[in-house]
Structure 1
Amino acid sequence: MDTIRSLRCFVRAVELGSLSAVAREERTTQPTVSKLMAALERELGVRLLERSTTSLQPTPQGSLFYQRALGVLAEYQEAVAEARGQTDTPAGLIRVNAPAAFGQFRLNALLAAFLEQYPQVDIELILDDRMVDLVKEGVDIALRQGGELPPDAVARLAGVSPRHLVAAPAYLRHRGQPRRPAELADFDYIRFAWLADGDMLTLRSGDKVESVATRGRYRVNHALAIRESLAAGGGIGLCPLWLVQDLLDSGALVRVLPAWEGQPQALRLLSPSRRYQPLRARLLLDHLVANIAQLPGYANAQPPSWNP
C-alpha cells in the first residue's frame, strides 16, 4: 500500500467530503480512491469514513486520525524539502484566489512575471469576491482586501491603500464642488452594491470623524465598473488608490474634499494554517509581497488603527 498517497487522499476526502472530488484532484478514478481508503481502513483495523449516497463524513476515530495524518504529511513534506536542499527547483500547481477587480486589474501582470521566472510552475487563478474555505477548496494563496479574516488561516500584510473621494472634472464643473462632508448628500454618489453600511459614508480628517447619508441611483458590484462610471462623469465615489491612482495622475479624476479620507484598505495574503508550505507557494508569497508594495496606490505599511 502507498501509505503517503493513502494518507493524502484520506485527508482530502475529509476536507472535501467527496471521494469523487479527491479523484479529480488526483487525476484518477473514484473506484481507485475507494480502494485506497478501504486498504487504509483494513491496515488500521478501524472504519475512518461513513459513506452514504449523499455525503461522506469521518467517524469519531476518523476525525482523530485526520489530525494525526495532517502532522504526518507535514513532517513528510518537510523531510522531502530538507533532503532536496536549497537547490530544489519549484514545480507544480499553485491555486490562487483573489477578488475579481484586483485580480483582473493588477494581479495578472504579477503572476505572469512569476511564471516567466519559474517555468516548471503552473498557476490556477480563481477570481471570486467571496471568502473561500482555503482547505476545502484546495487554495494555496488567497488575497483579501479589508474585512474580517478566517481564524484558521495565516495572514501576511502585502500593502495598504488609502481611500479618497474622487470624481471626474466634468462632473464637478457641472454640479459644483462639495465644501464639507454633509454636502455629499446633494451629489450623485456611486458605491459598491453590497456594503454593510449601505448609503452611510464615514470620513476622517485628522481627529475629526463625520458620517453622512449619501444619495445615489447607481450601485455596482464590481470595482472596475465603479472606476469606469466615475471616469465617465457619473458622480462621486470613495475609492482605494490602487484602483484610481493612474486616473488621478492623468487628470481623468480629481480628489473631492481632499482633507478627508475613508478607512484605508489593507491587502493581505492568506495561506492555510498547516506548518508546511511547498517551495513554489512560499516563493509566490514573497514575490507578491515585494511587488504589490510597488504598485500605484499602495504603501507597504501596517494598516492604521481607525475606529470611527
Structure 2
Amino acid sequence: MNAFVRAADLGSLSAAARSLSTTQPTVSKLVASLEASLGARLLERGASRVVLTDEGLRFLESARRLLEDYEEAVAQLDERTVRPSGRVRISAPMALGELRLHALMLRALELYPDLQIDLMLDDRFVDPVEERFDLTVRIGGTLPPDLVARELATWPRYIVASPDYVKRHGRPRTVNDLPEHSFLRYPMWTDDKVTLSNAEGTVELPIQTRYRVNHAVSLLDAVRGGAGIAFQPCWMVNDLLKRKELVRILPQWTGPAQTAYLVYARRRRQPKRVEVMMDLLTREIQSL
C-alpha cells in the first residue's frame, strides 16, 4: 500500500523506488500484489509515468488514512515516543540555515538526545513529498496548493551600507540620492529599478548595479566590505546595526518584504519528532 501511495504521489514507479530506497521492479511487484488482492487495477503504467485509474483514485485517500492509522498505532505502542526519537529531515534556504537554523539544530540535539536531524540547505524550491523531507522552510516563491504552507514571519528589507562606504561616498539623505550610489543585488533582479515603501506609499527608482551575486551571505559580506548599498532583510542585519558594523540608510524607507513559510505534506498527525521541530522552527523564525 505504501508503494502504491508513493507511486501515485510521485507519478512513476522509478521515483517511488528511489524514495523507498528500493528498485523499480520491487515497487512494481508490490503494487501488482496489492491490485491482485483488491481485484482492481489501481495504476495505468506508461513508459515513464503512471496514472491513477478511477478505482485507484477512489482508493488513494483511504490508503493514506490506513497508513497514517498504522503509523499512529505503532507510535502509541512504542514507549520511546514519549521522548522524541528518530530522524527528522529538514530543508531550508542557505543563508537562513547557515546564519540562524544551524545553531538551532545543535540546540535541538542537546534538548532531545534520541533525535537525529538532517538539515539540507538549498535555495531552490524543495518538494517535501517528492524528496521525502519532513519539513521545509521557504522564503517567498509560489507555494503548491497540495502542501501545507504555514506563514511564519514577514521581514522588511532595510537599505544598508558599511560605515566605510558612507565615509567614502557620503550618506544618501533622500530617495533621490540613491541613483548616485552603486547597489549590490541578486542576479534574478535584472531590471535597473528598485521599489521602496514608506508610510505614505511606494516609489520606483532607477539604480546602477555593478555587482550581482546569488548567495545571500556573500552579498552581505560585500556590503560589510564597503562594496555598495543593498537591500537586506531585517533578520540578517539587526545585530550588525546594533553593533554599528552597518548603517541603515533612509530608515523611513524599506524594500520589498520577505515572507517565510513552513511547508510540509498534508497528514492528520505528525510524529512526535516532527512536532517538536515544527515548534522549535516556528518559535525561532517568528522571533527573528
Closer, same or farther in 2 for the Cα pair 1:87/1:33, shift >3 Å?
closer
**Which amino acid in 2 is paired with 1:48?**
L
| 2:56 alignment counterpart | 62
In the TM superposition, what are the counterparts of 1:130-145 in structure 2 within 5 Å? 130-145=124-139
| Secondary structure of 2:31's aligned partner | helix
Task: Check whether the contact 2:81–2:272 (CA below 8 A) recurs between aligned residues.
Answer: no
The counterpart of 2:170, out of the listed 166, 176, 180, is 176
Mapped partners of 1:22, 1:285: distance in 2:
26
Number of positions where the alignment pairs a residue of Structure 1 with one of Structure 2: 288
Mapped partners of 2:83, 2:273: distance in 1:
8
**Which amino acid in 1 is paired with 2:110?**
E
Q: For structure 1, which runs of at least 5 residues remain unmatched after alignment? A: 1-6, 299-308
CA apart distance, 1:87: 5.5
Mapped partners of 2:13, 2:199: distance in 1:
56
- Identity among equivalent positions (%) equals 43
Task: Check whether the contact 1:135–1:272 (CA below 8 A) recurs between aligned residues.
Answer: yes
Q: Quick check: 281-290 or 173-182, which moved more?
A: 173-182
Structure 2 residue 226 is matched with structure 1 residue 240: no
**Which amino acid in 1 is paired with 2:97?**
G
After superposition, give the CA deviation of every residue in 1:205-249 in whole Å (9 maximum; x if it has no partner): 222322212211111111111101101111100101222223222
| 1:8 alignment counterpart | 2
| 1:4 alignment counterpart | none
Task: Check whether the contact 2:194–2:205 (CA below 8 A) recurs between aligned residues.
Answer: yes
The counterpart of 2:220, out of the listed 204, 227, 238, is 227
| 2:119 alignment counterpart | 125
Q: For structure 2, which runs of at least 5 residues remain unmatched after alignment? A: none
Closer, same or farther in 2 for the Cα pair 1:58/1:122, shift >3 Å?
farther
Task: Check whether the contact 1:91–1:122 (CA below 8 A) recurs between aligned residues.
Answer: yes
Task: Check whether the contact 1:95–1:141 (CA below 8 A) recurs between aligned residues.
Answer: yes
Structure 2 residue 128 is matched with structure 1 residue 157: no
Closer, same or farther in 2 for the Cα pair 1:68/1:232, shift >3 Å?
same
Task: Check whether the contact 2:19–2:130 (CA below 8 A) recurs between aligned residues.
Answer: no
After superposition, give the CA deviation of every residue in 1:187-216 in whole Å (9 maximum; x if it has no partner): 101112113x83322222222322212211
Mapped partners of 1:31, 1:273: distance in 2:
28
Q: Quick check: 280-289 or 26-35, which moved more?
A: 26-35
CA apart distance, 1:271: 1.6
| 2:202 alignment counterpart | 209
When normalised by structure 1's length, the TM-score is: 0.84
